[in-house]
Structure 1
Amino acid sequence: MSLDDAFNFVDVESDDILDNILYTEESSRKTSPLWNYVDCKSPAHPGVPVCKKCNYVFSIKSSNTTIERHLLNKHNIIIPKVRKQTTLNFKCIDPWPAKVKLVRDKAVVIWIVDNQQPFSVVENENFIEMMHIFDPRYKIPDRHQIKEMIIDEFNERRSNIGYDLQKISSKVSFTADMWTSTIIRHTGINMVAAITNVLNEFNLAGKALALTTNNESAMLVCGQKLSEEFEKELNNLTFSHYRCSAHILNLAVKQGMEIVDQEIVEVRQLMSKIKNSVLLCDKLCELCIIEKLEYLRPEIDIETRWNSTYYMLCKLQQMETALKMLAAKHDSVRELMPDVEAWTKIKVKMK
């Protein structure tokens, strides 16, 4: 290779390197709009920034700020700032600070209490996974910690109730529906002690005006003893015990339903038969559609809810036609269907 060829080889390589540099610089610099006004490929000044407006040649080391200042001062061109923020592709999994975690703990406590969930739900694998998806930074308490939190929440709310009750300046009437305890017998004397303890705890004994209870004999004794105690210790002559009118009505209705007690038993058996059979329910629904009747899902009454017996009989009466058609096709239903006399008694009682 001759000396000229060697120089030519170097020149070619140098030009290629320069082009690569210019390409790299151009691709990186093009992020700023100022390069729309600058030419870096001018034949007279290759690789050097040249102003397209006035052909001013900048130094190859000129910064963006220098070029922006030139465009502003000489050509009144303002280059907007381009700011880009780096986005991280990972989530922060550091535990929340104590104050932030406390808010989340309280939300879990309220959810457990309102939905009557067991304390151990916080140790369920699916629950833990769900919470981790919702909030990876939240460290779920164990069941023992949850128990303590719920007790603390209860005590706090109990204190708040006591504070609010102290603001009441007038008399207070209250109701009581107490039940048998496995530890203390359900007697009038024991219930007096329990009610008195609650009233003293909230400083309401001197404000008690009346007590409303059901008509159970022990509750009647409780009301009488409370009246005597308030009169003796607090000189409260205005305290009264009232019997719940709704409970009295309940007793009256239950006694009245004894007239058709046998018919109600038969209807209960019929409704139970249909309700527990998917086939019979579907057939009854089809018959209601044919007869253009509203399908009412069979309902079984509850002894302690006398209105549930009324609803059961209402459904029976409204679907009477469809039920008779169902009984004609199914012997098990026909055997439990009320006879003519029973239907008459039921309809009379429903009026």
Structure 2
Amino acid sequence: MVNEALVNMVIKDSQPFSIVDDDGFRELLHVLDPTYVIPTRKALKVMVDHKYKEAKEKAREQLQKVAAISLTSDMWTSLNMDAYLAVTCHFIDDNDKLCTILLGVEHFPNSHTAENLAAGHIKLMEEWGIKDKVKCLVTDAAANMIACVRSLNVRHAICIAHGLNLIVRKSFDDISTFNDIRSKCRKLVTYFRTSTTAKERLAQVQEQMGRPVLKMIIEVDTRWNSTFNMLERLYQLREPVGAALASLKTDITPPTALEYEAVRDALDVLGPFRQATVELSGEKRVSASKVIPLMKMLNHAVTSKLEGLNSNLTKQLGDSLVRRVREQAVNLESISVMTMPTLLDPRFKKLGFLSQGKLQEAVSRLKSECATVIRSSGLQSASTNTPPAQLPASSEAGQSTNNSK
């Protein structure tokens, strides 16, 4: 039992195997149970490997019972600049619960061509025995990923959170002056994160002001939310930062009052994008039906906020965001894998669409699919001499249900 608890602690808390050599840890275990023989580092590694194999086999057995699986895939780079391919599968179990299993985070030393990426995905799918069960693969919009999915011959969906990231990033790039302010803020934050003297001075100033000691947050280029967090924290600390800089020997200057005003307004405009990103990033809830309504809500939220802005700079940023949101909405409202869930979700139905033209096209596709299901059901029933299954209000179900709205 103690060995199992030790293995679980190492796994859950990401503890190193060397923990069994730490004097304090060994002393603690001796106090708890003087008769317990602490395993060596090598023995602990063997126990963790055994636990991993047990968990993997259990997950494999679970996947064998599943009829359909979706995958999400992404490339990322470690701090040591090593490339990895991460693939996660999603499915609904017998209890109608949405489940997620990480298939692997594989070291990827090969060039990131579509062929090599496809080979990496096939290797993982064959290893887990799910090659014929994959119905959709979600990736970013990189050309090599798109070509990879095309060669795998499965349905492709672009990650919506990544799409929101691109909307915000491109809008920043559209407004060079605002991008300059962002770069200035990043340089200031980097200084306070990398200089021990500056970091300690900032903490001292916050304590003198009677404030809780907060640390700076640096942005990550691939995640726009980190830019929001960076600017939000800097705006919170603008007074302590100014006071700390006054006593430090550096040529780095803080943003001006007008620049801070632009940051404040930008945070207000970008707030709905952060909420949308968080909402779409959940793993335990199906989110496809929310995508189109969220784009409509973003358009409404940003447009409403623009009316109360005083900064012309932030108005330009808002205008760029609205334009790109509308472009993205039109694209999403043309994709069946997005429109069908929205129309069939009783919370949204027709209300979530921004374009009435795209709405009518989506309704027509839904009617066509319903008619196909009815015809297929009729043919199967005829071959077995059983009455065909009936859909509510026949093939007009989609339209009649939506008319209730």
The equivalent of 2:203 in structure 1 is 281
CA deviations 1:276-325 (Å, max 9, x no partner) are: 33233332454476xxxx875433333333212212222333455x3587
- Letter paired with 2:22: N
The equivalent of 1:209 in structure 2 is 135
Indicate the percent of aligned positions where both proteins have the same amino acid: 28
Moved more, 198-207 or 297-306: 297-306
The equivalent of 2:169 in structure 1 is 254
Give the direction of change, closer, same or farther, for the CA distance of 1:131–1:251 in structure 2 (3 Å limit): same
- State the alpha-carbon separation in 2 of the partners of residues 304 and 338 from structure 1: 24
- State the alpha-carbon separation in 1 of the partners of residues 122 and 220 from structure 2: 33
Give the direction of change, closer, same or farther, for the CA distance of 1:332–1:312 in structure 2 (3 Å limit): farther
- Letter paired with 2:189: M
The yes-or-no answer on 1:242 pairing with 2:154 is no
Question: How far 1:184 sits from its partner (Å)?
Answer: 3.0
Whether the aligned pair in 2 keeps the contact of 1:284 and 1:326 (CA below 8 Å) is no
Moved more, 153-162 or 212-221: 212-221
2:228 alignment partner, one of 301, 305, 310: 310
Whether the aligned pair in 1 keeps the contact of 2:203 and 2:214 (CA below 8 Å) is no
Question: How far 1:120 sits from its partner (Å)?
Answer: 2.5
- Letter paired with 1:165: L
Give the direction of change, closer, same or farther, for the CA distance of 1:127–1:339 in structure 2 (3 Å limit): closer
Moved more, 138-147 or 299-308: 299-308
- State the alpha-carbon separation in 1 of the partners of residues 230 and 59 from structure 2: 40
- Letter paired with 1:151: D
1:221 alignment partner, one of 147, 153, 157: 147
CA deviations 1:61-118 (Å, max 9, x no partner) are: xxxxxxxxxxxxxxxxxxxxxxxxxxxxxxxxxxxxxxxxxx2222211211222222
- Letter paired with 2:203: C
Partner SS for 1:277? helix
- State the alpha-carbon separation in 2 of the partners of residues 313 and 248 from structure 1: 21
Q: State the structure with bigger RCO (CA 8 A, min sep 6), 1 or 2.
A: 2
Give the direction of change, closer, same or farther, for the CA distance of 1:253–1:152 in structure 2 (3 Å limit): same
The yes-or-no answer on 1:174 pairing with 2:71 is yes
The equivalent of 1:163 in structure 2 is 61
Partner SS for 1:178? strand
The equivalent of 1:120 in structure 2 is 18
Question: How far 1:265 sits from its partner (Å)?
Answer: 2.0
The yes-or-no answer on 1:131 pairing with 2:29 is yes
* Aligned pairs, number: 232
**Which residues of 2 match residues 19-30 of structure 1 at below 5 A?**
none
**Which residues of 2 match residues 60-79 of structure 1 at below 5 A?**
none
Structure 1 runs not aligned, ≥5 long: 1-102, 228-238
The TM-score with structure 2 as length reference comes to: 0.51
- Letter paired with 2:145: M
Give the direction of change, closer, same or farther, for the CA distance of 1:331–1:208 in structure 2 (3 Å limit): closer
The equivalent of 1:43 in structure 2 is none
Partner SS for 1:173? strand
**Which residues of 2 match residues 90-109 of structure 1 at below 5 A?**
103-109=1-7
Partner SS for 2:129? coil
Whether the aligned pair in 2 keeps the contact of 1:212 and 1:243 (CA below 8 Å) is yes
Structure 2 runs not aligned, ≥5 long: 77-82, 84-106, 270-405
- Letter paired with 1:313: L
- State the alpha-carbon separation in 2 of the partners of residues 286 and 125 from structure 1: 39
Partner SS for 1:206? coil
Partner SS for 1:177? strand
- State the alpha-carbon separation in 1 of the partners of residues 170 and 266 from structure 2: 13
Question: How far 1:226 sits from its partner (Å)?
Answer: 0.4
The equivalent of 2:363 in structure 1 is none
Q: RMSD over aligned Cα, in angstroms?
A: 2.9
Give the direction of change, closer, same or farther, for the CA distance of 1:122–1:328 in structure 2 (3 Å limit): closer
Give the direction of change, closer, same or farther, for the CA distance of 1:118–1:296 in structure 2 (3 Å limit): closer
- Letter paired with 1:138: Y
Question: How far 1:172 sits from its partner (Å)?
Answer: 1.3
- Letter paired with 2:141: N
